[in-house]
Amino acid sequence: MHSHGGSSRPVVDLTRHTILIIDSDEGTREALAEVLTQEGLAAVAASDGQEAVQLLAERPLTLVIVEDELLDMDAVEFLKRKAAIPSIAQVPVIILSGRRNTPLLDGAVALVPKPFGIDDLLREIRKHLPDVTGPKAA
């Protein structure tokens, strides 16, 4: 598909972006998946790090959103396991953290403090998926 000059842009199929949500709280996973779907993104969810690593290895995923403390591992361990698998090592990770003054971990592209506004999270997602523009401001 070629882009022609001017203001016309090719239509971007956002559903080709699949975001993995990893959170031990089912309500949080469901709420985030619903918001991402409303934004035109595909979402899959995992309740722990082991399930997440398996999902990452099985299917192409564009970005990962992970809470810093999972039931079976923390974000540091998850990032180490992800980095050890060459096919998924470059998938960007956004960490959701409820702890104050949490540093950005090696292997993560962003840290979003909990509680967070959904707009803050969507802004970070857009930064790392440049063709996800969202609705125009009114």
Give tens-digit pLDDT for 79-116. Answer: 999 999 898 899 999 999 988 777 888 889 999 998 88
CB-CB contact of 52 with 46 (8 Å):
yes
Range 52-78 burial, b when 16+ CB lie within 10 A, else e:
bbebbeeeebbbbbbbbebeebebeeb
Helix, strand, coil tally for the chain in percent (to 5): 35, 20, 50
Give the fold, CATH level 3, of 15-128: Rossmann fold (3.40.50)
Domain extents in the chain = 15-128
Q: Calculate mean pLDDT across residues 59-85.
A: 92
Could you tell me what percent of the chain has a pLDDT over 70? 83
* pLDDT reading at 53 higher than 80: yes
Most confident region among 23-27, 98-102, 129-133 by mean pLDDT? 23-27
